[in-house]
Amino acid sequence: MQLHFSPSMRSITISSSNGFIDLMKIKVAARHISYRTLFHTILVLAFLLPFVFILTALVTLEGVNKCSSFDCLGRRLGPRLLGRVDDSGKLVKDFYKILSQVHTEEIPDGLKLPDSYNQLVSEMKYNQYDAKTFAFMLRAMMEKFEREIRESKFAELMNKHFAASSIPKGIHCLSLRLTDEYSSNAHARKQLPSPELLPLLSNNSYHHFILSTDNILAASVVVASAVQSSLKPEKIVFHIITDKKTYAGMHSWFALNPVSPAIIEVKGVHQFDWLTRENVPVLEAVENHNGIRNYYHGNHVAGANLSDTTPRTFASKLQARSPKYISILNHLRIYLPELFPNLDKVVFLDDDIVIQRDLSPLWEINLGGKVNGAVETCKGEDEWVMSKHFRNYFNFSHPLVAKNLDPNECAWAYGMNIFDLSAWRKTSIRETYHFWLKENLKSNLTMWKLGTLPPALIAFKGHVHPIDPSWHLLGLGYQNKTNIDDVKKAAVIHYNGQSKPWLQIGFEHLRPFWTKYVDYSNDFIRNCHILES
């Protein structure tokens, strides 16, 4: 604001600071007004004019704020006159009050929701929503987006479950081609091992590994990694057990791709005289029970109340419904003393592991009269793998479970286990395993859901000797944040979980630890388009 005095001092012009508008012109009559009066008048005007501008602005905004100009002036000007310029605290409190009110009320019927934030802003400008309507729209949009994200997450989990349960085309091709080779190529049918090496299959001075699988590619990686990591590969004997449909292909692979100096034996379940219905009645019941088959092979969503289920709980339930859990190959480990009556000590391996270090020191571990040397899984920090107790596997609302088990007892892992078969034969582990399987069947699977580990946790209770965790690193099929340095240091890495390294859903940064043992130059691998990732 500027004051301009005329040269004669008979007029004074008050103008805006930019000089475009003359706001007030005062003519001074020398006879009727003194300079003292003039000076005081100018001071009063200079003080009042800024408030005139403020009042004008408030009147202009009167329609937007829907309040009288005097009311707006009082609310907006009052705090400033009193020195309280910042009224954001009151605005926040008012907004919280509106949000709380909206949270307890029903969303109005017919409320049309915008599809994006930009559309919401545009509609607010156009329709001039009040605060409560805006809060309702915000709540409805958030709830809509939460439902869509939740539905997408469940759909993702279902798709991942189907991917994990299916057989990749390349692996299926490999099995078919090798089976065909078995029927047409005499070299693919040659005896394994050769006749002169048969006595070594029961020689306890050798290191005996047992692998039960119907995945030829996975078996080849386990064997190759064990032999290449061993300081004494000539002391290795592998006993590979598979099912009848895979036997010819599995035999062909190891007959055509020997891993000398290690010794390989391939046997089908149908070739074990001991495996009769009389000896394994519970497993026959598991495989043939219609309710059990529907549970593992049926619709996994029908009847499920997804609104009360978290994605993590749903993922665990899907994992528990993997069809592999009713396969006899998955239960065979409980019969090792009978299947290998001449062996004293063996290491049992799952087919989703990779061996990165010489395992011969495992045979030197003193199990102290225990049967099972295993890594405990209750002393880690991650929630998925290494923080498991009995309460994570069993339903302790079931009276039989609550009576006989401790929910805080530490769990242990399958996948790489040292079994003292001599000590095992002196126990009733197999009978205990059968008893609890029968009880769970009677209870319609209400005692536990997940596979073969829960009954084994009970059967081996008191017979487990903990071994150092560096021997067996778990969780590579669950956690994509697995520490790479820990992976490199572990003797055995285990891709337990859905994200197997031979599946497209496997974790890319963890897959190379597995693929380095796949022979991509092999004709069968190339012809089935099992490509290096």
Residue-number span of the structural domain to which 335 is assigned? 168-528
79 in a structural domain:
no
158 shares a domain with 274? no
Q: What confidence score (pLDDT) does residue 23 get?
A: 47
CA distances in angstroms from 484 to 225, 470, 502, listed in the order given = 18, 13, 19
Task: For residues 403 and 437, give the distance between their C-alpha atoms in angstroms, rounded to a whole number.
Answer: 17
44 in a structural domain:
no
Task: For residues 21 and 45, give the distance between their C-alpha atoms in angstroms, rounded to a whole number.
Answer: 16
237 shares a domain with 141? no
Compute mean pLDDT per 10 residues along the chain, 533 residues long, and list them.
56 54 50 61 66 55 48 53 59 77 77 79 78 78 80 73 76 96 96 96 98 97 98 97 96 97 96 82 60 54 58 63 70 94 98 97 96 93 80 94 96 96 97 91 83 93 96 89 92 93 92 95 93 58
Task: For residues 410 and 139, give the distance between their C-alpha atoms in angstroms, rounded to a whole number.
Answer: 44
Q: How many CA atoms lie within 13 A of 17 on its CB side?
A: 4
Q: One-letter amino acid identity for 148?
A: E
204 shares a domain with 288? yes
Domain boundary among 166, 194, 222: 166
425 in a structural domain:
yes
Domain boundary among 166, 194, 220: 166
pTM for this entry: 0.73
325 in a structural domain:
yes
Domain boundary among 166, 189, 223: 166
CA distances in angstroms from 383 to 266, 301, 434, listed in the order given = 37, 25, 30
193 shares a domain with 135? no
CB proximity list for 380: less than 8 A, separation 6 or greater = 386, 387, 469
Q: What confidence score (pLDDT) does residue 287 get?
A: 58
97 in a structural domain:
no
230 shares a domain with 157? no
DSSP 131-161: HHHHHHHHHHHHHHHHHHHHHHHHHHHHHHH
DSSP 158-172: HHHHHHHHSPPHHHH
In 3D space, the residue among 326, 325, 251 whose CA is nearest the CA of residue 284 turns out to be 326
105 in a structural domain:
no
346 shares a domain with 276? yes
Task: For residues 127 and 95, give the distance between their C-alpha atoms in angstroms, rounded to a whole number.
Answer: 20
CATH number at residue 339: 3.90.550.10
Asked if 157 and 318 touch (Cβ cutoff 8 Å), the reply is yes
Asked if 217 and 171 touch (Cβ cutoff 8 Å), the reply is yes
413 in a structural domain:
yes
Burial class (CB in 10 A: 0-12, 13-18, 19+), 205: exposed
Q: What confidence score (pLDDT) does residue 327 get?
A: 76
Task: For residues 293 and 302, give the distance between their C-alpha atoms in angstroms, rounded to a whole number.
Answer: 15
Number of folded domains in the chain?
Answer: 2
282 shares a domain with 237? yes
146 shares a domain with 176? no
265 shares a domain with 227? yes
251 shares a domain with 154? no
Q: What confidence score (pLDDT) does residue 69 get?
A: 47
Contacts of the segment 314-322: beta carbons below 8 A, 24+ positions apart: 314/154, 314/157, 315/157, 316/450, 317/449, 318/157, 318/158, 318/161, 319/161, 319/450, 319/497, 319/498, 320/449, 320/450, 320/451, 321/161, 321/295, 321/296, 321/449, 322/161, 322/164, 322/165, 322/296, 322/451
280 in a structural domain:
yes
Residue matched to tokens 């004051």: 3
In 3D space, the residue among 441, 435, 413 whose CA is nearest the CA of residue 497 turns out to be 413
194 shares a domain with 137? no
Q: What confidence score (pLDDT) does residue 64 get?
A: 47
In degrees rounded to 5, what are phi and psi of residue 2?
-130, 145
148 shares a domain with 200? no
